[in-house]
Amino acid sequence: MNFDLPDDVKEAQRKARDFASRYLTSEKAAYYDEREEYPHEIRKKALEEKIVDFSNPWHMLVTIEELCRADPGLGISATTPFFGVEILMLFGNEQQKARYMERVMRGEAIMGVAVTEPGGGSDVAGIKTSAVKRGNKWYISGSKMFITNGAIADFVAMLVRTSRPDEKRHHGLSVFLVDTKSKGFTANKLHGKLGVRATNTAELILNEVEVPEENLVGEEGRGFYYIMTFFDISRIYVAAQAIGIAQGALDRILRSLDLKSLSESQQFTVAEVATRVEAARMLTYQAASYLFNFNPVPKLTSMAKGYSSEVATFATQKAIELLGPAGLTGDVERFYRDAKIMEIWEGTSEVEKLIIYRSMLREVEKVAQ
């Protein structure tokens, strides 16, 4: 067993760190955070310098970590135009890949994923936005809430109800690629978020939005399965965001304090933050190694996402406490606000715990059989 990263992954990490030091500066981070504006300049630079490399998931994982370590809002914004491409990679047909996915990969289009609704996000099977078919077109009506890239995306992969559920609530859901310029489609940008203010978040309203039948992804009625498969992948990347935030908080603790003059209790706090960051990283790399070898273990993925998110919150909170007044302004204050979303998107911490518990239950039942 070897815990060292391979040389090519170390090189991706070094490249991302170098990119972050040049573009993801504290000044830029504060600028976009205060204005709640999406940083298109960072997106373009990341594309120019080929920082985002979906052909190698390990490169993506360490890149996300490094970018979020420099700044979560800008770091997430650099990779988020690609949010959802895995849905097309895994379930899109050749036409959809050429028309949508490749434009995203070339940086010519921004994508989003729309699942959550004003009525709730955790109960995915309970979504109400629906599509009806007339001729060879579908017509979608309803609304989606808290959609990342919602007001800047060219299209979104949207989960909607296409038939009434049978005995299973998650049946009858389908994924469509919806062009955001379509008639009847409105995106209202949300203001005043707690954190990740550089990312664009919107409410989407759909009033009889016409979608051609060729924009149905995969099979009608299989959407729940596609979205859950996608979450199993994206949770690993959220875990990487969270580790980046936690590591960034630890960096700032180590940089800002006179380490030789800390009280014993402060020394213990620093040691505990460092230990949790390492534990989160190891758990995430373990879950990622199964996933990236096409053998995902959802229990481990949820453990990695849930735990790393809590470590991000813990580390940023301890950074504020240790730094005193200096922690209440600047980077650390922003990191503290940015960390919280890790415990919410891609499944709240409670949802991750439900997944872990249910997986354990199935394992116990299997052994008992």
Q: Is 305 strand, coil or helix?
A: helix
- Rule CB under 6 A: is residue 242 a binding residue for ligand FAD? no
- Rule CB under 6 A: is residue 146 a binding residue for ligand FAD? yes
Residues in contact with ligand FAD, counted by CB under 6 A, come to a total of 21
Measured CA angle at 77 (ends 73, 80), to 5 deg = 130
Cα–Cα distance measured from residue 117 to residue 130, given in angstroms and rounded to the nearest whole number: 12
Q: Using CB under 6 A, which of 141, 256, 317, 348 touches ligand FAD?
A: 348
Cα–Cα distance measured from residue 48 to residue 62, given in angstroms and rounded to the nearest whole number: 19
State the minimum distance, in angstroms, from the CB of residue 159 to ligand FAD.
Answer: 8
Q: Which is nearer to ligand FAD, 25 or 349 (CB)?
A: 349
The question of whether 363 is a catalytic residue gets the answer no
Q: Using CB under 6 A, which of 39, 81, 92, 121 touches ligand FAD?
A: 121
From residue 184 to residue 213, the character string flagging contacts with ligand FAD as x (rule: CB under 6 A) and all else as - is ---------x--x----x------------
The alpha carbon dihedral of 115, 120, 125, 126 has a sign of negative
- Rule CB under 6 A: is residue 113 a binding residue for ligand FAD? yes
Q: Which is nearer to ligand FAD, 96 or 199 (CB)?
A: 199
Contact between residue 306 and residue 350 where contact means Cβ atoms under 8 Å apart = no
State the burial class of residue 261 (Cβ atoms within 10 Å of its Cβ: 0-12, 13-18, 19+). Answer: exposed
Which residue's CB comes closest to ligand FAD?
Answer: 121
| Active-site pick, 203, 220, 333, 346 | 346
- Rule CB under 6 A: is residue 300 a binding residue for ligand FAD? no
Residues 321-346 as b/e (b if ≥16 CB within 10 A, e otherwise) read ebbeebbeeebbbbbbbbbbbbbbbb
Contact between residue 170 and residue 125 where contact means Cβ atoms under 8 Å apart = yes
- H helices of 24-71, in order, are 26-35, 40-48, 57-70
- Rule CB under 6 A: is residue 85 a binding residue for ligand FAD? no
Q: Which is nearer to ligand FAD, 146 or 336 (CB)?
A: 146
The catalytic residues are 346
Site residues (vs ligand FAD, CB under 6 A): 112-116, 120-122, 146-148, 193, 196, 201, 341, 344-345, 348, 350-351, 354
